[in-house]
């Protein structure tokens, strides 16, 4: 019996894509804090599935070139693929030069992961045919329905949330990423209820839309709602533009006014959150201005940003409202801002080149009447992800990273399919070259790229999955106050995690709790190369204050660190309290009174016994005996 590879392989490709999208969601988020996402189950699962997909794709590529029957759509290298490779080479070179920057532990695996997902996506989408695309859509919708049901169960108390403050997170750690994932499924569901969808797909689409309506709004993500509306609009546009009432000027004005009201309402719904993002973007512009051409480097935003925020407030630029909202920042809450800060103008230029190529091919396909429903669907997915990325951090969540990169790979594949006649002028288009050259060169490049990324992902999994288990155990012991047990594990992990900021921070803090100050300082000073978490600054400042009698020069280091973290979080009590204690030991009475006065002017975000004690200590310094003045006279606000 002859095996029909042209029938089997497209279906397997569709199922592989469903696994890539769905399996990273099937895990319980790590409940122990301090473990970066690159060491969590979601990422290990993603790397494993990526490796399996790579094996399948390599085999199918070989089979597709070995049998006369061939495949309906073989992978063909195109101009955008070349631009993506140039972008990846730039990112890699940016990590190597300058050599003075110490790279974080997970830098290369992040880059390899993004590269692998893109090229695996390109290869898998190239195998799809008209029969396998509905299989892919149906599978994605089933995963979406499962996530929506999971969220409903959390909302009504059947299953626990994965966040202490929010009842609705799905299988994510936060309602934001959960909302993004659901939002990306909405254009898919809308596509299925259009005339081209089968009965089964239409029913599945309506079920998902009904369920997602019950969870997306309670999740409270404004970015998710906007992203869903943007993606659905792209899918529905061919119908919307035929509506005759659009010709009415009054309708256009009314729709514009409705949009303005919607955006204004979303802004005031969580005004502090929106203003906090505006502050982050404002401070980020100063970082970009100082590193305009090549940026600060991959994954360096959270390290550098907080230093810039400290300088921003120290220089007197921040308003009282900004000081109240400022806190430790890990994400730019705008992927474009983050990319510009890390990769500079050169990185933005390369992105614009890729975007320009895609816009050109879209215009050419539209000119020849070759824009189909699938083209609009994949465009809507990219738009949905991008709208959410404008307000959040989907690239920091493996499941969302996979979804976004696969959507982009689908866009490239869809745009270039059946586009052999379109020319780019001075840019050679591989689709126009003879089939023999295209198949040999494209297939070989694909095999090399996906094999390299899959092998690296396997090495990361094998090395760091057992390390992650020990690290989780160490952090759990730390949280329980078993510092000696935690220290034993932390010391064993040094050789594997010495360039991981979160590990160095927790290990240094745990060593400090057992009064191993010298060793703690070694860990925490090294942590500053990879992280700017306030805990590092305050722990070092406190320890160096205690070191003062033995090594007086440590006092100056403590003052510098505490001053920096004070302006990093200008509305927080603890850094100012430590500074107040430091100046008391240094016999700097004026500085001590200045910090105490600053403490008494702070608005209290969250009142607690510790905050009350700090305020009473400050009052004693400024006003004398605290029992002579009733504490009710001090302005303490929530």
Q: If you write DSSP's letter for every residue of 22-38 in order, what string do you get? A: HGGGSSPPP-STT--GG
Assigned token pair, 593: 């009174």
135 touches 11 (CB < 8 A): yes
Assigned token pair, 554: 């440590």
In whole angstroms, give the CA distance from residue 380 to residue 403.
Answer: 13
* Phi/psi-derived region of residue 515, left when phi > 0, alpha when psi is between -120 and 50, beta in every other case: left
pLDDT at position 424 is 45
Task: For CA atoms 503, 505, 510, 516, give the dihedral sign.
Answer: positive
pLDDT at position 438 is 55
Q: 297 pLDDT exceeds 70?
A: yes
Q: 468 pLDDT exceeds 60?
A: yes
The three-state secondary structure class of 115 is helix
Predicted confidence band at 223 (pLDDT cuts at 50, 70, 90)?
Answer: confident
Cβ-based neighbours of 626, under 8 Å, separated by 6 or more: 616, 619, 620
Q: Nearest CA to 149 among 127, 122, 165, 171?
A: 171
Q: Percent helix, strand and coil across the chain, each rounded to 5?
A: 75, 0, 25
Q: 506 pLDDT exceeds 70?
A: yes
Predicted confidence band at 603 (pLDDT cuts at 50, 70, 90)?
Answer: confident
| Segments making up each domain of the chain, as ranges | 5-269+368-459, 465-633
pLDDT at position 323 is 84
Class for domain 465-633, per CATH? mainly alpha
Q: 164 pLDDT exceeds 90?
A: no
In whole angstroms, give the CA distance from residue 409 to residue 122.
Answer: 5
Q: 439 pLDDT exceeds 70?
A: no
In whole angstroms, give the CA distance from residue 406 to residue 378.
Answer: 10
580 touches 621 (CB < 8 A): yes
149 touches 122 (CB < 8 A): no
- The HSE-up count of residue 264 (CA atoms within 13 Å, CB side) is 6
Predicted confidence band at 434 (pLDDT cuts at 50, 70, 90)?
Answer: very low
Predicted confidence band at 538 (pLDDT cuts at 50, 70, 90)?
Answer: very high
Q: 303 pLDDT exceeds 70?
A: yes
- Distances in Å between the Cα of 436 and the Cα atoms of 65, 181, 432, 595 are 10, 40, 11, 74
In whole angstroms, give the CA distance from residue 371 to residue 114.
Answer: 28
Predicted confidence band at 251 (pLDDT cuts at 50, 70, 90)?
Answer: low
In whole angstroms, give the CA distance from residue 479 to residue 474.
Answer: 9
Burial status of residue 529 (CB atoms within 10 A of its CB: 0-12, 13-18, 19 or more):
middle
CA triple 373-123-129, angle to 5 deg:
40
Predicted confidence band at 318 (pLDDT cuts at 50, 70, 90)?
Answer: confident
pLDDT at position 30 is 65
pLDDT at position 72 is 46
In whole angstroms, give the CA distance from residue 378 to residue 380.
Answer: 5
Mean pLDDT to the nearest integer, 240-254: 69
**479-500: pLDDT as tens digits:** 999 999 999 999 999 999 999 9
**562-588: pLDDT as tens digits:** 999 999 988 888 888 888 888 888 888
Residues, the chain: 638
Q: 100 pLDDT exceeds 60?
A: no
Assigned token pair, 331: 């994400």
pLDDT at position 37 is 87
In whole angstroms, give the CA distance from residue 492 to residue 477.
Answer: 15
333 touches 270 (CB < 8 A): no
54 touches 450 (CB < 8 A): yes
Predicted confidence band at 456 (pLDDT cuts at 50, 70, 90)?
Answer: very high
Q: How far is CA 527 from the centre of its chain?
A: 21
Cβ-based neighbours of 212, under 8 Å, separated by 6 or more: 144, 148, 182, 185, 186, 189
pLDDT at position 74 is 66
Mean pLDDT to the nearest integer, 517-522: 88
Q: How far is CA 475 from the centre of its chain?
A: 23
Q: Which residue is listed with tokens 């805990």?
A: 535
Q: 99 pLDDT exceeds 60?
A: no
pLDDT at position 176 is 87
Q: Nearest CA to 581 among 607, 599, 567?
A: 599
Q: Nearest CA to 332 among 383, 394, 264, 289?
A: 394
- The HSE-up count of residue 343 (CA atoms within 13 Å, CB side) is 19
Cα torsion 400, 402, 407, 411 to 10°: value is: 140
Q: Would the pTM count as exceeding 0.75?
A: yes
61 touches 127 (CB < 8 A): no
State the chain's mean pLDDT as an integer.
83
Q: Please report, in angstroms and rounded to a whole number, the separation of the first and last CA atoms in the chain.
A: 76
Orientation of helix 5-22 relative to helix 41-66, angle to 10°: 170
388 touches 401 (CB < 8 A): no
Instruction: Choose the weakest-confidence range: 257-266, 272-281, 611-620.
Output: 257-266
In whole angstroms, give the CA distance from residue 75 to residue 440.
Answer: 10
**377-421: pLDDT as tens digits:** 999 999 999 999 998 889 888 889 999 999 999 999 988 875 544
29-43, 346-360, 623-637: range with highest mean pLDDT: 346-360
């Amino acid at each position: 019996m002859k095996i029909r590879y042209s029938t089997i392989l497209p279906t397997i490709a569709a199922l592989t894509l469903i696994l890539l999208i769905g399996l990273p969601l099937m895990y319980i988020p790590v409940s122990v804090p301090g473990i970066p996402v690159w060491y969590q189950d979601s990422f290990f699962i993603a790397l494993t599935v990526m490796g399996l997909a790579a094996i399948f794709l390599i085999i199918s590529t070989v089979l597709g070139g070995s049998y006369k029957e061939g495949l309906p759509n073989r992978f063909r290298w195109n101009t955008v693929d070349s631009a993506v490779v140039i972008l990846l080479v730039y990112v890699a070179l940016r990590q190597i030069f300058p050599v003075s920057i110490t790279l974080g532990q997970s830098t290369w695996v992040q880059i390899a992961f993004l590269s692998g997902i893109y090229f695996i996506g390109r290869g898998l989408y190239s195998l799809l045919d008209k029969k396998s695309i509905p299989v892919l859509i149906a599978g994605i919708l089933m995963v979406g329905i499962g996530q929506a049901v999971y969220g409903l169960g959390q909302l009504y108390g059947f299953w626990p949330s994965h966040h202490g403050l929010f009842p609705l997170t799905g299988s994510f750690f936060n309602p934001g990423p959960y909302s993004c994932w659901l939002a990306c499924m909405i254009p898919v569901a809308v596509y299925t209820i259009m005339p081209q969808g089968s009965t089964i797909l239409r029913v599945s689409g309506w079920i998902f839309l009904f369920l997602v309506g019950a969870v997306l709004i309670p999740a409270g993500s404004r970015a998710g709602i906007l992203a869903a509306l943007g993606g659905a609009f792209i899918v529905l546009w061919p119908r919307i533009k035929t509506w005759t009432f659009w010709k009415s000027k009054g309708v256009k004005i009314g729709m514009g006014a409705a949009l303005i009201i919607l955006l204004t309402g979303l802004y005031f719904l969580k005004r502090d959150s929106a203003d906090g993002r505006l502050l982050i973007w404002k401070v980020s512009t100063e970082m970009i201005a100082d590193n305009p051409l090549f940026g600060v480097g991959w994954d360096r935003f959270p390290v550098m940003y907080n230093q810039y925020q400290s300088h921003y407030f120290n220089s007197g630029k921040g308003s009282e409202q900004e000081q109240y909202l400022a806190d430790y920042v890990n994400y730019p809450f705008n992927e474009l801002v983050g990319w510009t800060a890390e990769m500079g103008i050169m990185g933005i230029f390369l992105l614009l080149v890729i975007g320009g190529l895609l816009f050109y091919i879209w215009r050419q396909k539209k000119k020849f009447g070759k824009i189909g429903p699938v083209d609009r669907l994949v465009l809507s997915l990219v738009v949905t992800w991008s709208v959410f990325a404008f307000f959040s951090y989907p690239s920091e969540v493996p499941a969302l990273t996979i979804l976004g990169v696969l959507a982009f790979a689908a866009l490239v594949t869809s745009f270039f399919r059946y586009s052999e006649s379109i020319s780019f002028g001075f840019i050679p288009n591989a689709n126009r070259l003879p089939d023999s050259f295209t198949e040999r060169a494209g297939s070989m490049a694909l095999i090399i790229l996906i094999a390299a990324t899959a092998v690296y992902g396997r090495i990361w999994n094998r090395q760091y999955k057992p390390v992650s288990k020990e690290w989780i155990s160490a952090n759990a012991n730390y949280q329980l106050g078993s510092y000696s047990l935690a220290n034993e594990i932390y010391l064993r992990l040094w050789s594997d995690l010495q360039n991981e900021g979160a590990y160095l921070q927790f290990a240094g803090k745990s060593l400090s709790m057992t009064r191993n100050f010298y060793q703690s300082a070694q860990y925490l000073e090294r942590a500053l190369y990879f992280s700017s978490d306030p805990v590092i600054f305050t722990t070092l400042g406190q320890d160096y204050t205690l070191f003062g009698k033995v090594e007086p020069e440590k006092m100056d280091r403590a003052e510098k660190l505490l001053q920096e973290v004070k302006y990093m979080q200008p509305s927080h009590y603890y850094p100012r309290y430590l500074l107040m204690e430091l100046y008391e030991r240094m016999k700097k009475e004026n500085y001590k009174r200045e910090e105490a006065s600053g403490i008494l002017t702070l608005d209290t975000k969250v009142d607690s016994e510790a905050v009350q004690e700090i305020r009473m200590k400050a009052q004693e310094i400024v006003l004398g005996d605290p029992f002579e003045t009733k504490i009710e006279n001090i302005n303490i606000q929530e």
